[in-house]
């Protein structure tokens, strides 16, 4: 992917250590199994504050992929490493939406955004009130002097837990970016299928705003942030799909029927081979989008998001089916991955939306 975001600033050993440290922190906190405990959590829904503190403050993932000038480190490869591990663990933390989506939008806004990037790096949560769940621009307008914004955006991830909001607003036909502190906005939680990914409707009523861009330059920053967030979402999907495949592989090795392991049956082998193909093709597509210097990053991001969406949905469905009756129970983790797969599928546009977007970008 082209752009000013470095591909990587860590060597392979450091990247492997980052992954293992995240994995250990999630395991120690009891995830993914503890995700079911978040159902109905009223205070800061979908957020494990203790895990986020460890990951953000002690391990430092809140700054992964953000500029050095704001205290960040790493590049696109490290963003995807973190997202994949968090997706595998179903970690209820706002890395994808705060550090990646909001952070990468801010990183393209120049020096005016540096204080807010520093707040993200410190672990404060930024909510990106920029697009709805389908990736469409929210209906927010700004006064001519840029001093306040009015409107609302639905399906804002971690909207009720945010310290501040990154807002995309219209001034005439131009899109510019603003900061609104949480105290100047109203966030109302929405029901979410995924216990680990809360959403809210965020409303601004002549809310005081700090303007970051002028003359419509916010559109390019928004596009950049969304494209990188799409890749990170695909990595989250890849992590979940890989964990589902591994979990199913272990199960069919010891589950016996007709005096033999069910994994020895040819029909099961074929289904597992198909699932592995989906996972590996998703990984290959994400690697290509990461390391190839493309002049069409938006196309790459849309292709990978569409493919990984279909792959994750298919693999998690096989996980439930091949686990038999136990795969349908509340006590098994399969439904937790099903919930995440459905959330990720809709986040920033589903596969159908992105296939149409690809066609439009390529003038098909």
Between vectors from CA 136 to CA 135 and to CA 142, what angle results, nearest 5°? 125
Average pLDDT value for residue range 45-50: 90
State which of 106, 124, 142 marks the end of a domain: 124
Tell me if residue 66 falls in helix, strand or coil.
coil
State which of 182, 216, 250 marks the end of a domain: 216
> What pTM was estimated for this model as a whole?
0.94
pLDDT recorded at residue 2: 43
Residue recorded with tokens 């991955």: 337
Query: Which tens digit of pLDDT belongs to each residue from 326-348?
Result: 999 989 999 999 999 999 999 99
With pLDDT > 90 as the criterion, what percentage of the chain qualifies?
78
Distances (CA, A) of 289 to 2, 17, 239, 300, 319: 9, 23, 16, 6, 27
- 280 shares a domain with 169: no
pLDDT recorded at residue 9: 84
User: What are the structure tokens assigned to 285, written together?
Assistant: 């597509």
Q: Is the pLDDT of residue 3 over 60?
A: no
pLDDT recorded at residue 135: 60
Q: Distance between CA atoms of 220 and 338, rounded to whole angstroms?
A: 34
Q: Distance between CA atoms of 289 and 198, rounded to whole angstroms?
A: 28
Average pLDDT value for residue range 182-196: 94
Dihedral angle computed from the Cα positions of residues 223, 348, 126 and 183, in that order, rounded to the nearest 10 degrees: 110
Long-range contacts of 108-116, Cβ-Cβ distance < 8 Å, separation of 24 or more: 108/4, 108/220, 108/221, 108/224, 108/225, 109/177, 109/212, 109/213, 109/218, 109/221, 110/212, 110/213, 112/210, 112/212, 113/212, 114/67, 114/69, 114/70, 116/164, 116/166, 116/179
Contact 106, 113 (CB under 8 A): yes
pLDDT recorded at residue 140: 87
Tell me if residue 261 falls in helix, strand or coil.
strand
- 110 shares a domain with 66: yes
Q: Is the pLDDT of residue 1 over 60?
A: no
Contact 72, 122 (CB under 8 A): no
- 225 shares a domain with 132: no
- 157 shares a domain with 117: no
Average pLDDT value for residue range 35-52: 85
With pLDDT > 70 as the criterion, what percentage of the chain qualifies?
96
- 331 shares a domain with 253: yes
- 306 shares a domain with 186: no
- 61 shares a domain with 158: no
Which domain does 61 fall in, by range?
A: 12-124
Domain membership of residue 4 (yes or no) is no
Q: Which of 49-63, 68-82, 235-249, 258-272 has the lowest mean pLDDT?
A: 258-272
Q: What is the mean pLDDT of the chain?
A: 92
Contact 119, 164 (CB under 8 A): yes
**Bridge partner list, 204:** 151
Domain membership of residue 1 (yes or no) is no
The residues, ordered by sequence, that sit 6+ positions from 56 with a Cβ below 8 Å of its Cβ are: 62, 93, 122, 123
Q: Is the pLDDT of residue 192 over 70?
A: yes
Query: Which tens digit of pLDDT belongs to each residue from 119-170?
Result: 999 999 999 988 765 566 677 888 878 889 999 999 999 999 999 999 999 8
State which of 216, 234, 254 marks the end of a domain: 216
The residues, ordered by sequence, that sit 6+ positions from 11 with a Cβ below 8 Å of its Cβ are: none
Provide the CATH number for the domain around residue 318: 1.20.140.10
Distances (CA, A) of 74 to 63, 65, 168, 184, 229: 8, 5, 26, 33, 15
- 236 shares a domain with 152: no
Domain membership of residue 356 (yes or no) is yes
Average pLDDT value for residue range 170-199: 93
- 194 shares a domain with 67: no
pLDDT recorded at residue 209: 95
The total of structural domains in the chain comes to 3
pLDDT band for position 353 (cuts 50, 70, 90)? very high
Tell me if residue 171 falls in helix, strand or coil.
strand
- 347 shares a domain with 230: yes
φ, ψ of residue 128 to 5 degrees: the values are -95, 95
Q: Distance between CA atoms of 327 and 248, rounded to whole angstroms?
A: 10
**Bridge partner list, 175:** 170
Q: Which of 36-45, 161-170, 214-223, 302-311 has the lowest mean pLDDT?
A: 36-45
- 88 shares a domain with 173: no
* C-alpha 230 chain-centroid distance: 7
Q: For strand 256-257 and strand 186-190, is the pairing parallel, antiparallel, or unpaired?
A: unpaired
- 241 shares a domain with 211: no
Q: Is the pLDDT of residue 97 over 60?
A: yes
Average pLDDT value for residue range 270-276: 96
Distances (CA, A) of 41 to 14, 126, 269: 36, 20, 40
């Amino acid at each position: 992917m082209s752009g000013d975001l470095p591909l990587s600033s860590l060597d392979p050993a450091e990247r492997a250590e980052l992954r293992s440290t995240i994995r250990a922190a999630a395991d120690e906190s009891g995830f993914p199994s503890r995700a079911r405990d978040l159902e109905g959590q009223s205070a800061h829904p979908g957020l494990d504050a203790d895990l986020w503190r460890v990951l953000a403050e002690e391990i430092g993932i809140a700054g992964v992929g953000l500029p050095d000038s704001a205290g960040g480190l790493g590049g696109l490869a490290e963003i995807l490493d973190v997202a994949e591990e968090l997706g595998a663990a179903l970690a209820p933390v706002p890395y994808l939406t705060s550090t990646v989506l909001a952070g990468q939008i801010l990183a393209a806004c120049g020096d005016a955004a540096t204080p807010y990037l520093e707040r993200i790096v410190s672990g404060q949560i930024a909510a990106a009130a920029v697009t709805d769940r389908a990736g469409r621009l929210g209906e927010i307008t700004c006064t001519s002097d840029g001093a306040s914004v009015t409107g609302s955006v639905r399906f804002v991830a971690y909207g009720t837990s945010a310290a501040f909001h990154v807002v995309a607003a219209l001034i005439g036909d131009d899109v510019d970016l603003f900061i609104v502190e949480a105290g100047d906005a109203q966030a109302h939680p929405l029901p979410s299928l995924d216990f680990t990914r809360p959403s809210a409707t965020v409303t601004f009523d002549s809310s005081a705003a700090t303007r970051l861009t002028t003359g419509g330059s916010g559109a390019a920053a928004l596009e950049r942030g969304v494209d990188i967030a799409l890749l990170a979402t695909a990595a989250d999907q890849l992590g979940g799909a890989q964990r589902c495949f591994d979990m199913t592989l272990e199960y069919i090795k010891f589950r016996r029927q007709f005096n033999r392991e069910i994994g020895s049956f040819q029909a099961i082998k074929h289904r597992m081979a198909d699932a592995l193909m989906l996972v590996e093709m998703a990984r290959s597509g994400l690697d290509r989008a990461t390391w190839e210097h493309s002049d069409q990053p938006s196309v790459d991001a849309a292709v990978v998001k569409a493919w990984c969406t279909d792959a994750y949905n298919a693999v998690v469905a096989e996980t439930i089916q091949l686990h038999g009756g136990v795969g349908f129970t509340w006590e098994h983790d399969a439904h937790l991955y099903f919930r995440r797969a459905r959330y990720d599928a809709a986040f920033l546009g589903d596969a159908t939306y992105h296939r149409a977007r690809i066609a439009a970008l390529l003038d098909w």
